[in-house]
Amino acid sequence: MSSAKHRSHARPTDPYRRTSLAYLRDLETRLKAYESGNPPTNSPIPPSVASAPTSSTIDDDAATDGFDDNPLTDGMTHLVITPSGQRHYLGNSSSTSFGLRLRSFFETFRRFDQDLSIEVQYPTYNPAAWPKRRPSVAEVPKLPPRDFAKRLYQAQYRYIGTIFSFVEPRVFDQRLEKVYSGTLDLSDREACLEYCQVLVILAYGQLYSVNQWDGHDGPPGFDYFMQALQFLPDTHDEGSVLFVEVLSLVGYFMQNLNRRDAAFLYIGLALRMAISLGLHQEIVDPDMDEGIREHRRRLWWSVYSMDRILCAKSGNPITILDEDIGVLPPSRLPHEPEVSSATVLLHYTELSRILGKIMKGIYRKSPKTGSSLVTSVYNIMTDLNNWRRDLPKPLQFDASRLDRDISRESVSTFLHYYQCINMTARPLLFRVVQRRLANLTTEKETDWRSGLSTTTIAVIEACVAAARDSTTMMHAAAKQNLVATYGFMDGEHIFSAAIVLVMANLAFPHNDRDHVAMEKALDVLGGMAEKGNGHIRARHELLIKLRGMTATDPTPLVAEVTSQTIEPPSLALAAGSEGELPPEATMQPFDIDAALPGMQYTGDVNLWEEGYGDWGPAVDFDWGAWTEAAQGSGR
């Protein structure tokens, strides 16, 4: 250490020092010239002053000093401990973290006599003086019979319990037992949180099991959810793992109610609280068993996925970068089967990570060139293709078994996968469709591929194929009552697929496969609308109007559809009926190597820059833009 210091002082050729001295000498010369009445004529700053030291020079200096790495980022995560014993995360840039490192360094020489535990978080107020909000309930809500409550838990677990790990069956049974066996103390924050979680789980169970409007103030489970909100602690209360679980569940239910902003805020709170608890980093704690440690990991990745999805759907920035996450991925515990819910969560999380790349590489407001866009799309499509290739066989979706039992976790996972393809490609699809709609009467039956590069064609075909596959999957799931009528993501995925298919049928030459897929997508949307989802009904009506424009003369058809009462098609189609997809529509993995050979860009750079450069921060863009483009073709 002393030798490095000696070398630093002995070195006479420090580039920064040379620059500063030269600059000062130049200023001194200029000042003397002005004082003598002979100002210099545009005396330029010497090159040694104007130019900063090169990166190679800086790298050489760093190597000489031995400063290759930041010493403050070494080692495990620091935690502070609140008076109640709760652990909270400290980042590397924290002054307290720096103080802990300094203390540890000096303790290598000698131990301190007194306790210098700055990792204990001392409050600057009397905790007893802090206002406590008791739930404003006249009486504790009445719960259903215990066995029925367990069935409701299983209903919600079937839909979201296998892709998000918020409360495990064993833990829920324990909390349910506590709720049913004792009297709730409204002054006990943890007890209120547990009661709140039970009520929210019951709300989800009703939402997914009843699965249609039942004549109350909201969808099934709405009453339980309203009661649960009364037991939520204030946001200034101390965070906990249970609090993170509850906030996440509340946020996602808000999204199912189409309360997008509220959902974004609650999920954001859950993510920030998880960060403050250090869930995004591995921690050293000999008292923490592997089961608790693994639950922390799974909870983190569940909140992470939910946050990524809601950020993408609302067009908000990503909350946390992947580079800032140090916790291990979810993994199987020794007593769990080879393919378990942890396996599903692992692969679902990987799709959410790719979704972050889509947000950053395609939808972020930043200058983009055609070549950089091609590279971004290629990298994303490659990641998606690798994900599909590496998926364990038990999680693969077998299109030949659509008429048999299918797992809801496969439906959820593959819809996430196809939506990633859709979001990657649809800006380019929209630009091509928009151009063709401008001259629909002359271009409708011409080959849409004419004049486009192989790369552009491959991306658009991938988008339409993903929409067809999403439709095939959801139509099969609907026949087995596995589509959530009020499910936010189910509605988002089928609408996203339907709009792509409607636009393809509207602007491209007639194709039996795409036409039948479009009808199936509208069929699923119509079934969700019939069961009481007003938000989906409005979207379905929009697409029905657009579908009417796929004929040669769109203007009278638009007027006809607008003036008549819209009758949504029946959800269930008989086997072998006209609405069935032909055999060639069997779902196949998207092969990036075959579809995008080498990703050689061949000349439609303006199309890429227009297509991907037009989008603002909202990824879930105003679908009225599609309507406007389509209606403009009929004028």
Task: Note whether 280 and 258 are within 8 A (CB).
Answer: no
Question: Minimum mean pLDDT among 2-16, 343-357, 599-613: which range?
Answer: 2-16
Query: Between 555 and 455, whose confidence is greater?
Result: 455
Question: Minimum mean pLDDT among 10-19, 321-330, 517-526, 622-631: which range?
Answer: 10-19
How far, in Å, CA of 62 to CA of 591, rounded?
45
Question: Minimum mean pLDDT among 258-267, 304-313, 531-540, 550-559: which range?
Answer: 550-559
Domain boundary (173, 203, 232) is at 232
Give the CATH number, domain containing residue 245.
Answer: 1.20.58
Kindly indicate the confidence band of residue 373, based on its pLDDT and cuts at 50, 70 and 90. Answer: confident
- Average pLDDT for 301-324: 92
Assess whether pLDDT exceeds 60 at residue 15.
no
Range of the domain at 90: 78-125
Kindly indicate the confidence band of residue 343, based on its pLDDT and cuts at 50, 70 and 90. Answer: very high
42-90 confidence digits (pLDDT tens): 444 444 444 445 545 545 554 555 545 555 556 555 566 666 666 666 5
103-141 confidence digits (pLDDT tens): 666 666 555 554 445 455 556 666 666 666 666 666 778
Q: Give pLDDT, residue 299.
A: 97
Q: Which residues contact 293 (CB under 8 A, 6 or more apart)?
A: none
Q: Give pLDDT, residue 229.
A: 94
Same domain, yes or no: 546 and 485: yes
Q: Measuring CA to CA, which residue among 191, 189, 190 is closest to residue 181?
A: 191
**Which DSSP string corresponds to 181-235?**
HS---TT-HHHHHHHHHHHHHHHHHHHHHH-S--SSSSSTTHHHHHHHHTTPPPT
Name residue 79's beta-bridge partners. Answer: 89
Q: Indicate the pTM of the whole model.
A: 0.76
Same domain, yes or no: 106 and 178: no
User: Using H for helix, E for strand and C for coil, what is the string for 320-347?
Assistant: CCHHHCCCCCCCCCCCCCCCCHHHHHHH
Q: How much is the mean pLDDT over the chain?
A: 76
How far, in Å, CA of 221 to CA of 208, rounded?
9
Query: Between 24 and 178, whose confidence is greater?
Result: 178
Kindly indicate the confidence band of residue 565, based on its pLDDT and cuts at 50, 70 and 90. Answer: very low
Same domain, yes or no: 322 and 383: no
Same domain, yes or no: 457 and 501: yes
Output the CA torsion sign for 404, 159, 351, 622.
positive
Whether 319 maps to a domain, the answer reads yes
How far, in Å, CA of 602 to CA of 449, rounded?
13
φ and ψ of 78, to 5 deg? -90, 145
- Average pLDDT for 483-501: 93
User: Which contiguous run of DSSP H or E holds residue 104?
Assistant: helix 95-107
Q: Measuring CA to CA, which residue among 138, 596, 86 is closest to residue 374?
A: 596
Q: Give pLDDT, residue 349.
A: 96
Q: Measuring CA to CA, which residue among 528, 157, 469, 488 is closest to residue 344?
A: 157
Query: Between 406 and 347, whose confidence is greater?
Result: 347
- Average pLDDT for 179-183: 85
Assess whether pLDDT exceeds 60 at residue 310.
yes
Assess whether pLDDT exceeds 90 at residue 531.
yes
Q: Give pLDDT, residue 431.
A: 86
Whether 348 maps to a domain, the answer reads no
> Three-class SS of residue 543?
helix
CB-side neighbour CA atoms (13 Å) of 172: 25
How far, in Å, CA of 241 to CA of 141, rounded?
24
Q: Give pLDDT, residue 526.
A: 95
Q: Measuring CA to CA, which residue among 213, 198, 253, 307 is closest to residue 487?
A: 253
Distance set, CA 447 to CA 463, 599, 632 (Å): 17, 22, 21
Whether 620 maps to a domain, the answer reads yes
User: Which contiguous run of DSSP H or E holds residue 291?
Assistant: helix 290-314
Whether 307 maps to a domain, the answer reads yes
Q: Measuring CA to CA, which residue among 53, 432, 490 is closest to residue 309?
A: 490
Kindly indicate the confidence band of residue 562, based on its pLDDT and cuts at 50, 70 and 90. Answer: very low
- Tell me the two tokens of residue 165: 């790990």
Single-letter amino acid, residue 68: D
Same domain, yes or no: 523 and 494: yes
How far, in Å, CA of 117 to CA of 538, rounded?
59
Q: Give pLDDT, residue 144.
A: 93
Q: Give pLDDT, residue 79.
A: 63
Helices (H), 480-604: 488-507, 512-530, 534-547, 554-563, 592-595
Same domain, yes or no: 274 and 207: no
Whether 306 maps to a domain, the answer reads yes
| Residue listed under structure tokens 């050293």 | 284
Highest mean pLDDT among 72-81, 101-110, 264-273, 610-619: 264-273
419-454 confidence digits (pLDDT tens): 999 999 888 888 888 888 887 777 777 888 888 888
How far, in Å, CA of 408 to CA of 351, rounded?
17
What's the chain's Rg over C-alpha atoms? 30
Domain boundary (90, 125, 160) is at 125
- Average pLDDT for 159-180: 92
Whether 136 maps to a domain, the answer reads no
Name residue 88's beta-bridge partners. Answer: 80
Single-letter amino acid, residue 55: S
Distance set, CA 278 to CA 96, 127, 306 (Å): 15, 23, 18
Domain count for the chain: 5
Same domain, yes or no: 504 and 616: yes
User: Which contiguous run of DSSP H or E holds residue 151?
Assistant: helix 146-156
Query: Between 599 and 497, whose confidence is greater?
Result: 497
Whether 342 maps to a domain, the answer reads no
Tell me the CA end-to-end span of the chain in Å, nearest whole number.
79
CB-side neighbour CA atoms (13 Å) of 27: 7
Same domain, yes or no: 150 and 270: no
How far, in Å, CA of 406 to CA of 402, rounded?
7
447-475 confidence digits (pLDDT tens): 888 888 888 888 899 999 999 999 999 99
Q: Give pLDDT, residue 320.
A: 94
Assess whether pLDDT exceeds 90 at residue 530.
yes
Assess whether pLDDT exceeds 80 at residue 313.
yes
Query: Between 32 and 234, whose confidence is greater?
Result: 234
Task: Note whether 571 and 463 are within 8 A (CB).
Answer: no
Assess whether pLDDT exceeds 90 at residue 339.
no
Single-letter amino acid, residue 266: Y
Report percent pLDDT > 90 for the chain. 40
> Three-class SS of residue 81?
strand
For 23-29, the CB contacts below 8 A with 24+ separation are: 23/49
For 137-146, the CB contacts below 8 A with 24+ separation are: 137/186, 137/227, 137/230, 137/231, 140/184, 140/195, 141/199, 141/224, 141/227, 143/179, 143/180, 143/198, 143/202, 144/202, 146/176, 146/180
Same domain, yes or no: 265 and 293: yes
Same domain, yes or no: 193 and 312: no
- Average pLDDT for 266-272: 97
Whether 347 maps to a domain, the answer reads no
Q: Measuring CA to CA, which residue among 69, 67, 58, 64 is closest to residue 11?
A: 64
> Three-class SS of residue 75?
coil
How far, in Å, CA of 174 to CA of 194, rounded?
10
Q: Measuring CA to CA, which residue among 485, 489, 565 is closest to residue 525?
A: 485
How far, in Å, CA of 261 to CA of 244, rounded?
18
Same domain, yes or no: 467 and 610: yes
Domain boundary (180, 214, 232) is at 232
Q: Measuring CA to CA, which residue among 207, 208, 178, 209 is closest to residue 193?
A: 178
Same domain, yes or no: 320 and 423: no
